Every structure is written in structure tokens, then in C-alpha cells.
């Protein structure tokens, strides 16, 4: 049995993972419906900008959650 595991921390990690998945899904849905006219790749530059923006939002979310968990685990 691993005594270093804290159920509260594990639950928070699970909640953070669910929030990041929800953020990714919302970004994809926004991309699919709001930018539906761009899905035909008529303008590749704008398409790549949208994909880059989605990836940037996901990366920022991952970075913030990683910093949060690292700072909290130090306590």
C-alpha cells in the first residue's frame, strides 16, 4: 500500500483532467460550428490559425494546472 497517496489530491487531479477534456471539447465544438465555413479548407492560413489557437488554449490550461499541482504538492 502506498501511503503517499492522498485521496483529495487524486480527486483534484481527476477533476482537473476532466476540466481540460471539457475545454478541449468546447474548443472543438466552437471550431466546428462557429467556423463551419472554414472547414472546407478554402483558406488554409485561417484554418491553421484556428488550430493553433485551440492548441494554445489547451497548452495554457495544462501549464496552469501543472503549476498549481506542483505548488500544492510542496506544502
pLDDT at 40 over 60: no
How many angstroms from the chain centroid is the CA of residue 69?
A: 15
Mean pLDDT computed over 54-72: 85
Count of CB atoms within 10 A of residue 33's CB?
Answer: 8
Lowest mean pLDDT among 4-8, 10-14, 53-57, 68-72: 4-8
CA distance 71 to 66: 9
Amino acid at each position: 500500500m502506498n501511503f503517499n497517496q492522498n485521496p483529495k489530491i487524486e480527486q483534484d487531479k481527476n477533476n482537473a483532467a476532466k476540466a481540460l477534456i471539457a475545454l478541449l471539447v468546447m474548443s472543438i465544438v466552437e471550431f466546428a460550428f462557429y467556423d463551419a465555413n472554414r472547414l472546407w479548407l478554402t483558406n488554409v492560413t485561417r484554418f491553421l490559425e484556428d488550430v493553433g489557437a485551440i492548441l494554445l488554449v489547451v497548452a495554457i490550461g495544462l501549464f496552469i494546472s501543472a503549476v498549481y499541482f506542483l505548488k500544492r504538492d510542496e506544502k
